[in-house]
Amino acid sequence: MILTVTAILLMIFQVLILKYFVIFGIGFCFLYLMFLLFLPLEIGFASAMIIGLIAGLIVDLFYNTLGIHAFACVLITFLRPYWMKWNKPRSGYEVNDLPMITNYGLGWFVIYALPLIFIHALTVFLIESGGNQLVGISILKSAVTALISLVFMIAIQYLFYSKAKR
């Protein structure tokens, strides 16, 4: 239930406010990815990819990007379980835990989230550029976007999520 409310609020905030939040023309904030990164560990592979597709299509609808965000979201939901296996905490994952700072710590969350956010942003900007002429700019935009998005995700977790498990 809390994940559904979070998803709805993040999508509304993304398409109404963060769409216009751009730093120096290169840094964007893809905060809606937080909801995809927070999907339960037990969620099925196909279910996660369908949720990623729907989230991406909603963003595409408001950004007029014709499936770019949908493709990038499906890509990171495809890569997520493999990355989580590789990035498993020492104590392992616990049943019914969400992959958040409160459950696994800040260091783990940064290592978990940053590469996935970067891959999403790089996919979006490379497809948007339409060729290989702007690879350097796409990488720069992706790096700045990933850092901005990660900082916002961390701030939101510290502001709004319980610290009971620490």
Q: What is the pLDDT of residues 97-151, one digit of tens each?
A: 888 888 888 999 999 999 999 999 999 999 988 877 788 899 999 999 999 999 9
Residue 164 has pLDDT above 70, yes or no: no
Q: Tell me the CA end-to-end span of the chain in Å, nearest whole number.
A: 22
Instruction: Domain count for the chain, please give it.
Output: 1
Per-residue pLDDT reduced to its tens digit, 82-98 = 998 898 877 788 877 88
For residue 154, the enclosing domain spans 2-18+33-160
In a domain, 127, yes or no: yes
Per-residue pLDDT reduced to its tens digit, 75-84 = 999 999 999 8
In a domain, 24, yes or no: no
Residue 165 has pLDDT above 60, yes or no: no
What is the per-residue pLDDT for 162?
67
In a domain, 90, yes or no: yes
Confidence class for position 1, pLDDT limits 50, 70, 90: low
In a domain, 9, yes or no: yes
Token readout for 81 is 């379980």
pTM over 0.85: yes
In a domain, 26, yes or no: no
Residue scoring higher pLDDT (166 or 134): 134
Beta carbons of 112 and 83 less than 8 angstroms apart: yes
What is the per-residue pLDDT for 61?
94
In a domain, 115, yes or no: yes
DSSP per-residue codes, 93-143: PPTT--SSHHHH-HHHHHHHHHHHHHHHHHHHHHHHHTSSTTHHHHHHHHH
In a domain, 165, yes or no: no
Token readout for 92 is 């392992």
In a domain, 154, yes or no: yes
**Residues 46-67: what's their mean pLDDT?**
94
**Residues 55-78: what's their mean pLDDT?**
95
